[in-house]
Chains A and B, each alone.
Chain A
Amino acid sequence: MKRWHSLIAPALLVLAACSSSATPSPAATTAAPTTAPAAGDFDLDQWDSVLAAARGQTVNWYVWGGSDSINRFIDTFYGPALQERYGITLNRVPVADTVDAVNQVLSEKQAGTDPGAVDLIWINGENFYTLKQADLLFPAWAQKLPNSRYVNWDNPALNLDFGHPVDNYESPWSSAQLQLVYDSARLEAAELPRSYTTLLEWACAHPGRFTYIAPGPGGFLGTRFVKGALYDLSGGSAAWLTFDQATWDTWSPALWAYLNELKPCLWRGGETYPQDEAELRSLLANQEVDFSLTNDITGAGTAIENGLLPATARAFVFDQNMIGDFNYVAIPANAPHKAAALVLADLLLEPEFQAAQIVPANGFGLGYAIDVNRVTDEAAVAALLAAATQLGEAATPASDLARALVGDTAAEYHTLVEQDWRVYVLQGE
Chain B
Amino acid sequence: MTRLSQIGRWALYLLLAAPLALFAVYAFSTRWFFPQLLPAEWTSATLARVLGDGRVISALRDSVAMAGGVSLLAMVIGYPAARVLGLRQFRGRNAAWLVLFLPTVVPPLAVGMGLNILFLQLGLAGTLAGVMLAHLVPALPYVVFTLAGAFARYDENYEFQALVLGASPARTFWSVSLRLLAPSLVVAGLFAFLISWSQYLLTLLIGSGRIITLPVLLFSAAAGGNPATTAALALIFLAPPLVIIAATARQLNQRPGDIREQL
- Residues of A at the B interface (CB closer than 8 Å) are 60, 62, 65-68, 72, 75, 92-96, 100-101, 104, 107-108, 110-113, 117, 218, 275-279, 281-282, 285-288, 306-311
Contacts and interface: CB of A to CB of B under 8 A. Distances in A.
B223 A113 contact: no
Nearest to B209: A93
Contacts of B125: 113, 117
Given A66-B220, A68-B224, A276-B223, A113 B33 contact: no
Nearest to B227: A282
A404 B209 CA distance: 38
Q: Considering residues B126, B226, B227, which has the most beta carbons from chain A within 10 angstroms of its beta carbon?
A: B226
Contacts of B33: 285-287, 310
Given A287-B33, A310-B31, A279 B120 contact: no
Interface string B92-126: 00000000000000000000000011001101011
A276 B224 CA distance: 9
Contact of B226 (A62, A276, A306, A310): A306
Contacts of B120: 107-108, 110-111, 113
Interface of B: 30-31, 33-35, 41, 43, 49, 55, 116-117, 120-121, 123, 125-126, 208-210, 212, 219-221, 223-229
Given A111-B117, A111-B120, A278 B224 contact: yes
A104 B31 contact: no
B225 A117 contact: no
A104 B34 contact: no
A68 B126 contact: no
Contact of A66 (B209, B223, B228): B223
B220 A65 contact: yes
A110 B117 contact: yes
B116 A68 contact: no
B61 to A, nearest CB: 15
A93 to B, nearest CB: 5
Contact of B210 (A60, A107, A279, A282): A60
Nearest to A91: B210
Contacts of B49: 72
A335 to B, nearest CB: 14
Contacts of A68: 221, 224, 226, 229
B223 A107 contact: no
A208 B120 CA distance: 47
Given A108-B120, A281-B225, 16 more contacts: A66-B220, A66-B225, A68-B224, A75-B55, A92-B55, A93-B209, A93-B210, A94-B209, A96-B223, A107-B116, A111-B120, A111-B121, A117-B125, A117-B209, A278-B226, A287-B33
A75 to B, nearest CB: 8
Contacts of A104: 208-209
A209 to B, nearest CB: 14
A62 B224 contact: no
B104 to A, nearest CB: 28
A67 B221 CA distance: 8
A116 to B, nearest CB: 9
Contacts of A287: 33-35
Contacts of B210: 60, 93, 117
Nearest to B118: A111
Q: Considering residues B31, B117, B219, which has the most beta carbons from chain A within 10 angstroms of its beta carbon?
A: B31
Given A68-B221, A94-B220, A276-B223, A307 B117 contact: no
A100 B209 contact: yes
Contacts of B225: 66, 276-279, 281-282, 308
A111 B224 CA distance: 32
Given A279-B225, A286-B34, A96 B220 contact: yes
A406 B215 CA distance: 40
Given A107-B116, A108-B120, A113-B121, A307 B208 contact: no
Contacts of B55: 75, 92
A263 B212 CA distance: 39
B204 to A, nearest CB: 9
A382 B97 CA distance: 74
Given A65-B224, A96-B223, A107-B120, A101 B209 contact: yes
B209 A62 contact: yes
Nearest to A307: B30
A94 to B, nearest CB: 5
Contacts of A286: 33-34
B14 to A, nearest CB: 24
A308 B212 CA distance: 25
Nearest to B228: A307
B115 to A, nearest CB: 12
B221 A107 contact: no
A67 B30 contact: no
A68 B50 CA distance: 11
24 contacts: A66-B224, A67-B224, A68-B226, A93-B212, A94-B212, A94-B220, A110-B117, A110-B120, A111-B117, A112-B121, A113-B125, A117-B126, A218-B223, A275-B223, A278-B224, A278-B226, A285-B31, A287-B33, A288-B34, A307-B43, A307-B226, A307-B228, A308-B226, A310-B33
